[in-house]
Structure 1
Amino acid sequence: MRDTMTVVLAGGRGSRLEPLTRDRAKPAVPFGGLYRIIDFVLSNCLNSGMRKVLLLTQYKAQSLDRHIHLAWGTYFCRELGEFIDVVPPQQRFDDSWYQGTADAVYQNIYAIEREQPRDVVILGGDHIYKMNYGPMVEFHRKMDADITVGALRVSRDEAKEFGVIQSDLDHRIVGFEEKPDQPTTLPEDPDVALASMGIYVFNARFLYEKLCDDATDPDSDHDFGKNIIPAAIKDHRVFAFPFTDENRKREAYWRDVGTIDAYFEATMDLIGVDPQLNLYDEQWPIRAYQPMLPPPKFVFGSEGGPAIRRGEALDSIVCQGAIVSGGQVHRSVLGPNVRINSYASVEDCILFDGVEVGRSCRLRRVIVDKGVKIPAETDIGIDPQQDAARGFTVTDSGLVVIARGDELCVTGDNVTVVR
């Protein structure tokens, strides 16, 4: 894989994840307590032996940049020709931001050419999955392909949100539709379609030519799914590569956590007895930044007063530095440095780094962003209509989200948000 270059697109706004993306890019959103979303694709790269990585950022990239520096710099040795470079928009050709996925790569074409790769692997930085990219590159070369597209089987309804592939028996792509209203399904199964995962392997010289042609087309959206792939199918060798899952479960695991509800559901799956995503697999480790913090602590085991004062967490993930001090935690994910105080009840919640829950609070189906302090005796998630009136973000399913930087102000029995 030393003659392969990897480009990770990590500049998306993640507007459907607001307010979690109010101050950070989508790939930098915490996931599973310890990880960031970007850690999954970068772990795939490292585990696949891909050690030349360009990470293209754009919106609100400071948090992501800092995380890459802390978590990933030690895994790559530049003296051996390895690197992971975080690259903001260069505005090399004009003063505009990236206009699409293809334009993002085009604006960094000089950085790619400098390494003289044989093939270029292009990945999105905002999905949760495990995959070895090596067999896909080998397939690409064996088929003498110009482009190879990672393909995932999805339901017909889900396919409306993807690029939909039609391929022949040799896996050569003969049709491609971007987010069609009526997806073309598989001949053998009318309920399943073949979707593009946004994972591409390009012959490097072919990529340069197509990006330069696309850049001069005034009618193009400068996007791989909308423009580059469909235009190449007729006259070039474009193939589909079936998703090979390294998660080693009965069903293939690939998640787009692009909405608050999807993010919550994927996170809650992690606390199951047999979660669909295996984070404990030593053969395919997911790496992340490990802060120098003490182990989690659970204190008080006595019963007294109007409620039980016992520090415990059941069916939960608790990260280092967290202290459950006389509170009750059920089916929740506690990030680093979280503090749960006495008589508090936390159920079905996701608490980011440094969150503090005051005494006698009740939280149910709440996502609390980094550093927020919940005042004592505050109920959140019990009455979604009341929470919306307070100024919290409430999804259609009743999930409550408290954003980073929100200050909760207590006036009598009322709690409001001060931003």
Structure 2
Amino acid sequence: MKAVGIVLAGGKRNALGALTMQRNVAAIPIGGSYRAIDFALSNLSNSGIKKVAVVCQHNTRSLTDHITSSKWWGFGRKKTGLFLFTPHMISAETFSYRGTADAIYQNIDFLKKSNEPYVVITACEQVTKMDYNKVIKYHIEKGADITVVCKEMGSFDVRDYGVVELDEESRLINLEEKPLEPQHTTVSLGTYVIGRELLIHLLEELESEARYNIVSDILIRYRRKLKIYGYMFTGYWKTVKDIEAFYNINMDFLNAEVRTLLFKTSPHIYTKAKDEPPAKFNDHSNISNSIISGGDIINGMVEESVIFRKVFVGENAVIKNSIIMEGCTIGRGAVLENVILDKQVYVSDGQRLIGTPNDILVYPKRSII
């Protein structure tokens, strides 16, 4: 299918606290070797969409470093590629985006210089494997102006999501953003398919009226004027919206079914390669249902945990139900349970860091404990 992709990576995620203090949410580490944006980029590339814009605003340095070489996701070929747009790269009255629609409008030349008939817009923090060709095909079959990818969430608390109401033909009747008392259990996943020319027209119209948001100013405002349909997605999907969600996503990767779906079946999820030596398991190390990454040196016990690259675990140290990011050092006899350590945290010998499933302890980058 002929389409261009837009990955929205502009918004702040204050609910992630220290984890996004110095990084864009798109660059947050996931599953031992990946970043959040790897899933969106891989899904676009695997769907044959090879011209992609990443629109971001806050803490762009780590994201820029990660996606500088677009070859890892199969971009960068002739007349295609991976493009990074930030507010300071453009001529505008403000050095920030005023909303999701404004973020795309301020880079509207990307759309005007493209020839593809469709645009796939998606968020940077979705952990999923999705075939956008199926969504575009559905979009065409329905004769839709806009297609919103949706998911039935059942008993899951949907108050922090965009809750949609669809009719019997899956046409959008209503969309309520983060309702206090949801009347439905189907949510928008923040992924849309729209005609390129229609999107350009809508963005220019919104700009003339000082409107800046995709959800409120396009989907809700135009829900009766335009033919907006919902495409029901049934696969694994989670979004990195807060500390609890980040923790649970990483713990999901310890589930063999989820790990096989995301990483061991084609098409694959790709990331920027890191050349590290194999993990080293010394005498008396004990590993149980955990992810261990390249460059790790394990001397203690690791149980139900995700260990990123170049982590040193000292003798008699115990790590349970925790996420340890790149370059951390865990001292001898230290005990960590229900903990998230950001990069390059040093835990002294004999320290006890004990959280609970409902109160995960988070330590910022380069902490000394």
TM-score (norm 2): 0.94
Alignment of 1:84-99 (within 5 A): 84-89=82-87, 90-99=89-98
Counterpart Cα distance in 2 of 1:27 and 1:129: 14
d(CA) in 1 for partners of 2:18 and 2:98?
A: 24
User: For residue 399 of structure 1, what is the aligned residue in structure 2?
Assistant: 360
Q: For 1:279 and 1:239, locate their aligned partners in 2 and report how far apart those are by CA, in whole Å.
A: 27
Corresponding residue of 1:173 = 172
Kept after mapping to 2: 8 A contact 1:71/1:288: no
Return the alpha-carbon distance in structure 2 between the equivalents of residues 74 and 42 of structure 1.
7
**Following the alignment from structure 1 to structure 2, what is the Cα–Cα distance between the partners of residues 346 and 228?**
47
Deviation at 1:174, TM superposition (A): 2.2
Q: Does 2:337 match 1:364?
A: yes
1:293 matches 2:293: no
Equivalent position amino acid for 2:193 in 1 = V
Residues 4, 120 of structure 1: 8 Å contact kept: yes
3-state SS, counterpart of residue 23 of structure 1: coil
Could you report, residue by residue, the CA deviation over 1:120-146 in whole angstroms, capped at 9, with x for unpaired residues?
A: 111001111111000111111222221
Q: Matched residues, percent identical?
A: 30
1:198 is paired with a residue whose SS is: strand
Tell me the equivalent position of 1:303: none
Rounded to whole Å, the distance in 2 between the matches of 1:377 and 1:25 is 33
1:313 aligns with 2:287: yes
Deviation at 1:96, TM superposition (A): 3.6
* Cα displacement string for residues 332-360 of structure 1 (whole angstroms, at most 9, x for unaligned residues): 11111111111111111111111111111
- What code does the residue aligned with 2:203 have? L
Consecutive unaligned residues of structure 1, counting only runs of 5 or more, are 186-192, 246-252, 301-309, 385-394, 409-419
Contact 1:132–1:244, Cα closer than 8 Å, also in 2: no
1:237 paired residue number: 227
* Equivalent-residue separation in structure 1 for 2:71 and 2:58 (angstroms): 20
What is aligned with 1:217? 209
The one of the two structures with greater contact order (alpha-carbon pairs below 8 A, sep at least 6) is: 2
- Aligned to 1:19, the other structure's residue is in SS state helix
Secondary structure, counterpart of 2:221 in structure 1: helix
> Closer, same or farther in 2 for the Cα pair 1:241/1:138, shift >3 Å?
same
> Superposition pairs for residues 62-81 of structure 1, below 5 Å?
62-70=61-69, 72=71, 75-79=74-78, 81=79
Shift of 1:295: 0.7
- Whole-Å Cα distance in 2 between the matches of residues 74 and 121 of structure 1? 17
Give the secondary-structure state (helix, strand or coil) at the position aligned to 2:193: strand
Give the drift of 1:297. Answer: 0.8
Structure 1 runs of 4+ aligned residues shifted over 6 Å read none
Range moving further from structure 2, 93-102 or 27-36? 93-102
Look up the match of 1:415. Answer: none
What is the CA-CA distance between 1:157 and the residue it aligns to?
6.0
Which of 306, 310, 313 aligns to 1:337? It is: 310
Contact 1:91–1:97 (CA under 8 A) maintained in structure 2: no
Cα distance in 2 for partners of 1:226, 1:275 equals 34
Does the residue aligned with 1:76 lie in a helix, a strand or coil? coil
CA pair 275-73 structure 1, distance change in 2 beyond 3 A:
closer
CA contact (8 A) 2:72 2:272 kept: no
Q: Which has the larger radius of gyration?
A: 1
After superposition, give the CA deviation of every residue in 1:360-419 in whole Å (9 maximum; x if it has no partner). 1111111111111111111111xx5xxxxxxxxxx99221111102233xxxxxxxxxxx
**1:132 equivalent in structure 2:** 131
Amino acid at match of 1:404: K
Matched, 1:323 2:297: yes
Instruction: Give me the whole-angstrom Cα distance separating, in 2, the residues matched to 1:74 and 1:182.
Output: 41
- Count of aligned pairs between the two proteins: 368
Contact 1:145 1:203 survives alignment (8 Å): no
Letter of the 1:82 partner, please give it.
Answer: T
In 2, distance between residues paired with 1:74 and 1:44?
A: 9
The secondary structure found in structure 2 opposite 1:319 is: coil
1:163 corresponding residue in structure 2: 162
Q: Are the equivalent residues in 2 in contact too, given 1:351–1:369 (CA < 8 A)?
A: yes
* Cα deviation code 1:257-297 (max 9, x no counterpart): 21111211221122235447733433121111221111111
The aligned residue for residue 323 of structure 2 is: 350
Distance in 2 (CA, whole Å) between partners of 1:273 and 1:126 is 22
Equivalent in 189, 193, 205 of residue 197 of structure 2: 205
Instruction: Give CA deviations for 1:182-227 in whole Å, capped at 9, x if unaligned.
Output: 3233xxxxxxx22111111111111111111111224x3x111111
Give the drift of 1:110: 0.8
Is the Cα–Cα contact under 8 Å of residues 326 and 343 in structure 2 kept in the other structure?
A: yes
Secondary structure at the residue paired with 2:18? Answer: coil
Q: Distance in 2 between matches of 1:216 and 1:145?
A: 25
Aligned equivalents of 1:122, 1:275: Cα separation in 2: 25
Match of 1:390 in 2: none
More deviation in 151-160 or 363-372?
151-160
SS at match of 2:238: strand
The 1:260–1:403 alpha-carbon spacing in structure 2 relative to 1, beyond 3 Å, is same
How far has the Cα of 1:70 moved from its partner? Answer: 4.6
Alignment correspondent of 2:242: 259
